[in-house]
């Protein structure tokens, strides 16, 4: 009965649940902004803080700048960039790296070129999987899977 369903995910971004002025309930207003039900005090979750900072400081220089001024850990900021929740100014030096070629990018997980390659690869893999499925007879399932695993490891 007393069991509480506490789920912690990056999606929560340290949501303010209780007003730090009067202890009232914080109501979500959108884009990471919350307002107290009772005293109208405004507060932000990590996403709101970073977003507000970027909006008011369009020339943020480094990831560290954002981290220091918002108190939001770099890991979380990087996650937001990956999820394309926030966007960095064009002339800023805040970058994350393409997961494949390590080129500097501003948001998402891959640079444009690698994103293209990944899309093609994923389409090919999907086609291959469907092919495997249609080829599998009785008892061949595990064999086919093992072969696929070995193939991936060798690459
Ligand atoms: Zn309040
Ligand atoms: Zn790349």
pLDDT digits (tens, 9 = 90+) for 92-130: 777 788 999 999 888 889 999 999 999 999 999 999 888
3-state secondary structure of 104: strand
Q: How far is the CA of 81 from the centre of ligand 2 (A)?
A: 15
Place of tokens 């979750």: 45
Quick: pLDDT tens for 56-85.
Answer: 887 776 888 899 999 999 999 988 888 888
Q: How far is the CA of 76 from the centre of ligand 2 (A)?
A: 21
For residue 106, list its beta bridge partners.
Answer: none
* Surrounding residues of ion ligand 2, Cβ less than 5 A: 98, 100-101, 103, 111, 114
Q: How far is the CA of 84 from the centre of ligand 2 (A)?
A: 16
- Structure-model confidence comparison of residues 124 and 138, the more confident one: 124
Q: How far is the CA of 67 from the centre of ligand 2 (A)?
A: 25
Of the candidates 86, 113, 119, 92, the residue with the CA atom closest to the CA atom of residue 101: 113
Place of tokens 């001024």: 69
- For residue 9, the model assigns a pLDDT of 52
Do 125 and 133 meet the contact criterion of CB atoms below 8 Å apart? no
- For residue 73, the model assigns a pLDDT of 93
Q: What are the boundaries of each domain within the chain?
A: 26-105, 112-154
- For residue 113, the model assigns a pLDDT of 95
Q: How far is the CA of 16 from the centre of ligand 1 (A)?
A: 11
Average pLDDT, the chain: 81
Which ligand number lies closest to the CA of residue 38?
1
Which ligand number lies closest to the CA of residue 112?
2
pLDDT at residue 3 is higher than 50: no
Report in angstroms the alpha-carbon separations of 89 from 3, 21, 45, 58.
Answer: 44, 33, 21, 6
Report in angstroms the alpha-carbon separations of 109 from 41, 104, 140, 151.
Answer: 36, 10, 36, 25
Q: How far is the CA of 115 from the centre of ligand 2 (A)?
A: 7
Q: What is the mean pLDDT of residues 147-155?
A: 49
- Structure-model confidence comparison of residues 12 and 151, the more confident one: 12
- For residue 62, the model assigns a pLDDT of 80
Q: How far is the CA of 136 from the centre of ligand 2 (A)?
A: 35
**Which band of pLDDT confidence, cut at 50, 70 and 90, is reported for residue 8?**
very low
Sign of CA dihedral 79, 89, 102, 71: negative
- For residue 65, the model assigns a pLDDT of 87
Which ligand number lies closest to the CA of residue 35?
1
Model pTM score: 0.60
């Amino acid at each position: 009965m007393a069991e509480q369903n506490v789920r912690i995910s990056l999606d929560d971004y340290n949501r303010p649940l209780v007003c730090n002025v009067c202890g009232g309930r914080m109501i979500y207003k959108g884009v990471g902004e919350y307002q107290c039900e009772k005293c109208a005090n405004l507060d932000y979750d990590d996403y709101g803080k970073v977003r507000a900072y970027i909006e008011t400081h369009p020339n943020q220089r480094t990831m560290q700048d954002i981290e220091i001024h918002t108190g939001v850990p770099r890991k979380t900021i990087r996650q937001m960039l990956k999820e394309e929740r926030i966007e960095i100014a064009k002339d800023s030096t805040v970058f994350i790296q393409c997961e494949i070629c390590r080129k500097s990018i501003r948001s998402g997980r891959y640079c444009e070129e690698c994103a293209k390659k990944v899309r093609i690869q994923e389409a090919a893999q999907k086609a291959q999987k469907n092919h495997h499925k249609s080829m599998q007879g009785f008892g061949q399932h595990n064999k086919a899977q093992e072969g696929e695993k070995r193939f991936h490891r060798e690459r």
